[in-house]
């Protein structure tokens, strides 16, 4: 019997204009695209949520980038897609690059669209489980 092929689920906003796909090479290169719409593809390193805001750290073979998604800037379907993402899920993010002094590399992507290519299985040990508190527990 042939193995089942998983269907790719894409969550995106069809009202967006065509954006330029760039690689994350350095903070210097990202800075030349500040205030422009770009699409960045990679793997999810870390995610965090706080109320109406979702944070991503995305990596690819050239580096890391911080991204932020506001509930009122994306469709409800795109906003809820965040919950199914796991560490190392492959995805692309489209949005506007902004200068942000506290972000790694000094730039942050304001997400307008999210495409999920593959959601990975949870790692048996997530980053929170092997922190200092976990190691000190009896």
* Residue 22's pLDDT band (cuts 50, 70, 90): low
> Which domains, and CATH codes, for the chain?
20-120 (2.40.50.140)
pLDDT(124) > 90: no
Neighbours of 40 (CB within 10 A): 25
pLDDT(8) > 50: no
- Distance CA(90)–CA(42), nearest Å, equals 6
Estimate to the nearest angstrom the gap between the alpha carbon of 23 and the chain centroid: 14
pLDDT(1) > 70: no
- Quick: pLDDT tens for 27-67: 557 778 889 888 888 899 999 999 999 999 998 877 889 99
Closest CA to 56 of 121, 103, 2: 103
More confident residue, 130 or 116: 116
């Amino acid at each position: 019997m042939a193995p089942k092929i998983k269907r790719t689920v894409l969550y995106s906003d069809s009202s967006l204009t065509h954006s330029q796909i760039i690689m994350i090479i350095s903070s210097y290169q990202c800075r030349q695209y500040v205030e422009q719409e770009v699409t960045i593809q990679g793997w999810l390193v870390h995610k965090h949520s706080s109320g109406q805001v979702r944070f991503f750290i995305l990596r690819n073979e050239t580096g890391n980038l911080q991204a932020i998604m506001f509930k009122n800037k994306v469709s409800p379907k795109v906003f809820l897609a965040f919950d199914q993402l796991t560490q190392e899920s492959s995805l692309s993010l489209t949005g506007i690059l902004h200068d942000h002094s506290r972000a790694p590399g000094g730039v942050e992507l304001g997400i307008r669209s999210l495409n999920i290519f593959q959601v990975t299985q949870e790692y048996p040990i997530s980053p929170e489980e092997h922190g200092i508190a976990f190691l000190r527990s009896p």
